[in-house]
Structure 1
Amino acid sequence: MTPLLPHRFLKGIGRDTVLALHAAGARVVAVSRTQADLDSLVRECPGIEPVCVDLGDWEATERALGGVGPVDLLVNNAGVALLQPFLEVTKEACDTSFNVNLRAVIQVSQIVARDLIARGARGAIVNVSSQASQRALTNHSVYSSTKGALDMLTKSMALELGPHKIRVNAVNPTVVMTPMGQANWSDPHKAKTILNRIPLGKFAEVENVVDAILFLLSDRSGMTTGSTMPVDGGFLAT
């Protein structure tokens, strides 16, 4: 099985997912806009196929990924979080957020799904969403909107691709303790506003999200499609 993993910056969830799939014996194609991240990954895991492209650029993505394959598993992890108060939201933030968080998922998934259908092969796609898709958070209006749209896209893809034996699911993490998560939520006062709403009383670790992704890619979730799986310590239950 060959998984394709598009990321904007190959760190945190994306990097650890690549490492886990490589360790499981998969041939992995890793996509990032950052060549240095890809170079570091290849040094650590020889055999990974790196593709450097900005997924916000439709034409460049088509050129870079049009010949990649065959791909059986896809993890859409590329994303940006441009946080602004609603009254200060800019056109640039809207365009960049929707281009990367939603449009790129559509494009990359089309490339993979068309090839799967042409080969008559089964496949699985996992979209990395967020708890912010289902709960309003201050300064997250654009980010939450992209993730809410991603959740519905996941369901629509599952409906249309299911007859072709392609499953599509999403994972919806809370704050994850990646380097970015640690930087953005290191302020105890800010962190407390979210932690107080998480029954388990803690943020997610990267491996919690990676484990959920691997489950949804595997045959162990063979009857699961169109789902949005919280990895949130109970945040969405409150």
Structure 2
Amino acid sequence: MEIQFNGKRALVTGAGRGIGRSIALKLAECGAKTVALNRSQGDLDSLKKECPSIETCQVDLNDWSTARTAIEALGHFDLLVNSAGVSRVGPFLDVKEEDFDFVFNTNIKALFNVSQAVARSMVKNKSGGAIVHLSSAASKQAIKDHAVYCSTKGAVDSLTSVMALELGPHKIRTNCVNPTATMTAMGLYAWGDPVKSKPLLDRIPLGRFAEVEDVVNAVVWLLSDKASYINGATLPVEGGLLVA
């Protein structure tokens, strides 16, 4: 199934490394004029070297006003992928305010801000569009020591539903992808210890964690016209974890 985004502009947050980087590269490969947004300039420089056609923008998404100004200055987008995300793990009783704020500010507040800025342009230009958030299977099933992370991903799922409802009449589709543990740097941080990861892995019928390509393929499909009647979906990419 060939997917092309010729003539489309795409914005990807958290595009410096991990899943976001792979999504940006895939969109560029599929013909989209891709803008990669990231906090680390070094990661963006590396991405630009790997794919010179990608435009880069360095900004801290946790600064609401600065991020909004930077995104608006980039112009109109047809496609948006909110991939920026962070995690801090630990027992519920030990969570501190700074842990809560750190994860919520990136995983939901920044995502909300970026989505609002991009969607306003889509509505103003009457162009329609497609938005995909990176959520997690952790929004659907409790995971020990992930109280804050699970909460943020539940909020992403809920926001996806509201955006689909309110933006759908403007021909803007909003969906999210909900992968299980994926072996990026953040995935290794949470699940790199085999003793810790084995109980989760044993619950996945396919017997493995997600590969980055599994997630990228789901995101690209949801952005494409192949999914033109999919709106408000939370697409599990978790090997059957949620049915086991």
1:6 — aligned with what?
A: 13
8 Å CA contact 2:11, 2:79 repeated in 1: yes
Q: 2:186 aligns with which of 176, 180, 188?
A: 180
One-letter amino acid of the counterpart of residue 168, structure 1 = T
1:217 — aligned with what?
A: 223
Q: 1:140 aligns with which of 141, 146, 161?
A: 146
One-letter amino acid of the counterpart of residue 213, structure 2 = E
8 Å CA contact 2:87, 2:186 repeated in 1: no
1:57 — aligned with what?
A: 63
2:235 — aligned with what?
A: 229
Q: How many residues align?
A: 237
Structure 1: 4+ residue segments shifted above 4 A = none
1:203 — aligned with what?
A: 209
> How far 1:188 moved relative to its partner?
1.9
Percent of aligned positions that are identical: 52
SS of the equivalent of 2:48 reads: helix
One-letter amino acid of the counterpart of residue 77, structure 2 = V
Which stretches in structure 2 are left out of the alignment for 5+ residues? 1-7
Q: 2:112 aligns with which of 103, 106, 109?
A: 106
> How far 1:100 moved relative to its partner?
0.6
Give the TM-score, by structure 2 length: 0.95
Q: 2:103 aligns with which of 97, 101, 106?
A: 97
SS of the equivalent of 1:190 reads: helix
One-letter amino acid of the counterpart of residue 104, structure 1 = A
Deviations 1:148-196 (A, max 9, x none): 0110000000000000000000000001122332354232221111011
Give the TM-score, by structure 1 length: 0.97
8 Å CA contact 2:81, 2:132 repeated in 1: yes
2:87 — aligned with what?
A: 81
SS of the equivalent of 2:155 reads: helix
8 Å CA contact 2:86, 2:186 repeated in 1: no
1:115 — aligned with what?
A: 121
> How far 1:49 moved relative to its partner?
1.2
